[in-house]
Amino acid sequence: MVTTTPSSPPNKKRSESNPILNFFTKIPWTWVITFTYLAFLLILPIAAMLTKAVSQPFESFWKTATSPLALSSYEITFVTAFAAAAINGVFGTLIAWVLVRYNFFGKRFLEAVVDLPFALPTAVAGLTLATVYSEKGWIGSLFAPSGFKIAFTRLGVWIAMMFISLPFIVRTVQPVLSELEKEIEEAAWSLGASKLQTFIQVILPPLTPSILTGVALGFSRAVGEYGSTVIIASNTPFKDLITPVLIFQRLEQYDYVGATVIGVVMLGISFVSLLAINLLQAWSKRYG
């Protein structure tokens, strides 16, 4: 009697003999969805922008990226955005502290006001800030007699960046602060530490990573802001012209390659800045 061994299905043999196909069949479907989504949303647009930027000779790319007007806009944009994020890092932490540690009348209203820049259209925010800080506005009129202008200057750009980036710091620090145990502070007080010493040595170290995260988010938001800054600034070259407005001006002149080159430079500087902040955050988590 002749016996035959059952043969394996053709598909199984093919998958076992093809390591590449075998590799892809083992990839979880969640990974496939994640990387597909990121590819269409982030990777492909960035790749298209880079391809457009390098489509011209390096000399032309370098000339456009390092023109005096472009360099001035980089300095105004990134320095002002960093100053806005740094100031909000201090006052945003203070606001989060008040919202977490105190109960008072109007607390819910203050919570809604903090989130207002999230929902308010940026053009409306710019119009509101320009009205308040102009020479005839509620606040601007107080400084107008001394010749000090706020709106339509670089200072106005800084205020607009602080306005739109503040919620990122508050909402990043607030949940971490609410999870801190009050007993640790009481233990420090019982050992003779003052309130300032307790804050610096006990409370601040675990808060530092969240503060840096909020600063990074606020910085990136301020760097890419256009709607509010374009209204409150005069958009004068070498004075208060930021890079997003310069890019839009290049697009209006049908200089698509020049706008893409400046956008690529801005992307690179933003990435390096955020990477440095993330490394600092990781260091603070390890040694803080």
Residue 47 lies in a domain: no
Joined together, the tokens standing for residue 160 give 């607009």
d(CA 128, CA 140) in angstroms, rounded, equals: 12
DSSP-assigned states of every residue in 119-143: HS-HHHHHHHHHHHHSTTSTTHHHH
Residue 203 lies in a domain: yes
Range of the domain at 151: 58-287
- Looking at the structure of the chain, the number of domains it has is 1
Residue 195 lies in a domain: yes
pTM for this entry? 0.83
| Predicted pLDDT of residue 15 | 47
| Predicted pLDDT of residue 264 | 92
Q: How many residues does the chain have?
A: 288
Residue 31 lies in a domain: no
Identify the CATH number of the domain in which residue 124 sits. 1.10.3720.10
Residue 173 lies in a domain: yes
Cβ proximity of 232 and 157 under 8 Å: yes
Residue 37 lies in a domain: no
Residue 254 lies in a domain: yes
- Residue range 83-116, pLDDT digits in tens: 999 999 999 999 999 999 899 898 999 999 999 9
pLDDT at 54 over 90: no
Residue 178 lies in a domain: yes
